[in-house]
Amino acid sequence: MSTVSVVTGANSGIGRAIAIHLAGRGHEVYGTVRDPARAGKLQSMAADAGVDVQLVTMDVADDESVRLGLAIVIDKAGRVDVLVNNAGVGSNAVVEEASSSEILEVTNVNVCGAVRCLQAVLPGMRARRSGAIVNVTSVAGRFGAIAQAPYVASKWALEGLSEELALELAPFGIRVAIIEPGVTKSAIFAKNVDVPNSTGVYDAQYERMFDFYAAGIPKATDPFQVAAVVYEAITTESPRLRYPCSWGGPEVLEGRRAMSDEEWVDLGRITDTVEYRERFKSAFGVDITPPT
């Protein structure tokens, strides 16, 4: 009997890679997409890989859409063994310039979307006393990534919910895994280049955020490497709760763990761009100097 896996946000980037990778490992995969008409690349890549990813029209930001979409999967497949909550959106803003509406919109997708999906599949998993919930967060869910307040807030929230969820589901034999990518090849970066800059006083903070991605994108990790991490997380006999991965991810998290809160704040006090880049590299082992 094949493992039945649902991957949200399967139309591009990490989600598409996870769906194809799991299908290649013999899973019966259902990939959720908001618009099937735009899933041509997913379908062609799946065909090239010799696998099948079944499309489910679903918007994780909408209660009824999630209810109907996952009901279709359960009716067709009989169950969901693995749920990969991958669907997400990015958003740039320093905290002072982040609107409440933007924070709520991003949280609705990145946090509430995951909750909607897991609530739909957990009753069956609990009844079978087996299953896996994989929540794709971000390295930005573990440290205060500068000038990305709505995104950071949502990913920190999903990290906390995931940690709680793992404790709550342990008695039922359900595995919870948190995947924490750094910079990974994805369309999300091309869609996420605007900043509000409404006060005009945070130019340096926005520059530092863009430096990180400008340095990372040319070295960005192939999303299929993240997909392999997901497969490991749901199949290993020695499971962990967290799986940092991709360019900059493990290094930044290790560096932040080794840094005191006071040292973190001191990093923000640096006004010279070159000095900031040097201190960042010394602290985290990651060079954020943009390519020339």
Active site residues: 151
CA separation for the pair 88, 82 (Å, rounded): 18
- Name the nearest CA neighbour of 80 among 134, 39, 34, 35: 134
List the alpha helices (DSSP H) in the chain: 13-24, 40-48, 63-77, 100-107, 113-128, 149-169, 203-216, 223-235, 249-258, 261-269, 273-284
CA separation for the pair 283, 273 (Å, rounded): 15
For 213-262, the three-class secondary structure string (H helix, E strand, C coil) is: HHHHHHHCECHHHHHHHHHHHHHCCCCCCEEEECECHHHHHHHHHHCCHH
Residue 224, CA atoms < 13 Å, CB-side half-sphere = 8
CA separation for the pair 117, 276 (Å, rounded): 41
- Please answer whether residues 66 and 32 qualify as being in contact, where contact means their C-beta atoms are separated by less than 8 angstroms: no
Torsion angle defined by CA atoms of residues 165, 231, 114 and 59, in that order, rounded to the nearest 10 degrees: -160
